[in-house]
Amino acid sequence: MLSEVAGALGAFADLPLAFQLPFVGLFAGLVGSFLNVCIWRIPRGESIVFPRSHCPNCNHVLEVPDLVPVLSYVFLRGRCRHCGTPFSPRYMLVELTLVCIWCAALAWFGLSWAFATCAVGSAVLLGTAGVAQMSRSMRRGAGGFTFMEILLAMTLFAIFISPFLNVLRTGWMGASKNREYLIAYNLAREHLEELRVMPARNLRSDWEIFVHGKRLTDNIFLDEFGPLARWGQNEKVFYENFSDVLTEVSQLPESVQAKFERNYKRFYGRDYKLYPREYDGFRRVTRIKDVTDPSTPGLALQKVTVTVTINTKLTHHRSLEVSTIVSDRGL
């Protein structure tokens, strides 16, 4: 049962926002309608479940056409369908406020825990504020103007702020994504600079250096029986998993990490330093390929390609490739 609910929610979460909004809006209206019942009955010590809602003047039980959130109030011009007694606009405003807040939260967060928190929080706040205000006005025998003002302010706030929230959100996300691409580009450039100072004939792909080194000892990087053993089985799997950007979180098992760092120092001539935590979502691999140039057939050329893959909360599986051609004479 629970898994079916989760499955249905998952399917609903995959729908475009335009399909989700009407459902969430309607549900918010129904919750708002229930809050109205609470706001009226709790201060009077009545049950919030029974009896069914009715007109306080003519006692007609309210039917479906009277109970559609917001719309009923608008179409019936805020009056009882039977006796014409005006209802307080509070009913409509409570529902409208909740609809606006829930829809804004959905547009802002998507169907998520953040949205659920906003939805439940706004309903509880609105209900509590309404009940408190109703109790106060009953004791004083005065109208609840303050509460109406609060409602109006909340509604206007939700209506006016929602488009800006969206702009802010996309702006922030865009800036953060740009920052991630910049980090990826710098990682690639940084490694190319490092390779620049090496003699071209010493350039090796990561696969060769760390798994099948011809000049270095074979398997210096891999632990043959450990969790990384399968990396050494095929080049494709290796490049899908390996990275020479390691952080405290993503570093290798201790003994393998030690081998890696030893080997790194021997090959690149400098100590390997772990990257800061913010590099967690970045992977970097280097491939070297022999290429030929038909116009200079005698010259040995190599193509150096550094690929940085970003896989963070914001950016999923995007790769950035920087290549350069080198000859024996260096980069």
Instruction: By CB under 5 A, name the binding residues for Zn ion.
Output: 55, 57-58, 80, 82-83, 85
Closest to Zn ion by CB, 82 or 303: 82
- Contact, 91 vs 73, CB < 8 A? yes
* Least distance CB 143 / Zn ion (angstroms): 21
Closest to Zn ion by CB, 53 or 247: 53
* Least distance CB 118 / Zn ion (angstroms): 36
* Least distance CB 56 / Zn ion (angstroms): 8
Q: Which helix (H) or strand (E) holds 319?
A: strand 318-327
Please state, in angstroms and rounded to a whole number, the distance separating the CA atoms of residues 250 and 263.
18
- Contact, 285 vs 243, CB < 8 A? yes
3-state SS of 59-95 is CCECCHHHHCCCHHHHHCCCECCCCCCECCCHHHHHH
- Contact, 192 vs 322, CB < 8 A? yes
List C-alpha distances in Å: 75 to 27, 68, 92: 19, 10, 11
* Least distance CB 38 / Zn ion (angstroms): 21
* Least distance CB 54 / Zn ion (angstroms): 8
Closest to Zn ion by CB, 55 or 245: 55
Closest to Zn ion by CB, 77 or 214: 77
Closest to Zn ion by CB, 40 or 147: 40
Query: Is 214 exposed, middle or buried (CB count within 10 Å of its CB: 0-12, 13-18, 19+)?
Result: exposed
